[in-house]
Chain A
Amino acid sequence: MEPNTAAMTEAELVKLAQEGKMAAFEELVARHRDKIYARAYSMMRHDDEALDLSQDAWIKGWQRLAQFQGESSFVTWMTRITINLCLDQLRKQKRQRAESIEAMAEESGGVERQMPVVTPNPTEGLERLELRERIDRALAQLSHEHRTVLVLHEFEELEYKEIARRMSCSIGTVMSRLFYARRRMASLLAGLKRDKLE
């Protein structure tokens, strides 16, 4: 008789999955698939790509289950796999596309260098749903490089050094990208607020 996986704890499911029980792994996928998909979407901003990469991540997770030792939570471990796959995909896409002026301005800041500082906080007093929508729209307008560094730092709470390792760049580049990404976000959020008021 198949065990009732729905009633099991995450640790029990992981252990069974490591022993090769597909039913246990299926339950883990069911529990965390939305979070993994959402992270892939936040980096790729494309439904189909996010769906494919999230599934790739689960397959890779299954193949590497023996390496999971429980230092972090299972979903954190899976999220790291997802991020790495997304970064690989973004690197491939970057190689394929021609270097544009916009891309070259990523580290030097482009228009963000001349932007006035936004004060006060443009998101103050917003309802959570509206705030989320506004942040989502602003994130969609960032370049891949700026968005990625923001996702890794603000959402995944990775340190500069770790982001640099994952993005295969220097710590200085990470700091610069993060700085301009934040400045651009502040500007976009303020702009969206102005649009709303007008």
Chain B
Amino acid sequence: MHELSLAQGLIDQLLALADKHQAEKITKVTVIVGPFSGIVTDSFSFGFDALKQEQNPTKESVLVLETPPPEYTCLQCGNCFTSPAGQVQKPRPFSSTLPCPDCGGAHCTAKGGDELILKQLEME
């Protein structure tokens, strides 16, 4: 349950940015949550919505989470491919059980995807 401390960190970042840009309020917050960042998006949103009430600039902020699909590297041929959104295997996202589309190899390991990035803000 470290989502709450990350949400608190995001709120702190938002307050600093609102101050820097002399904005009264932040209306929309877009965050990229990588598929392997270890973040439970529902808990993160829940934490954010609870914490945003405590200060005026974030009271009306709507949190939008973008979740890009995972990328895999085939351990046999080195080919990289993106798992189509519908085919992400939830229980074992780190080693794709989809065969490599290039060589058919069965051992594909996930690459990158641990990012957690504040992408864009809409402010007034």
Same complex origin of A and B: no
Residues of A at under 8 Å CB distance from B?
none
Residues of B at under 8 Å CB distance from A?
none
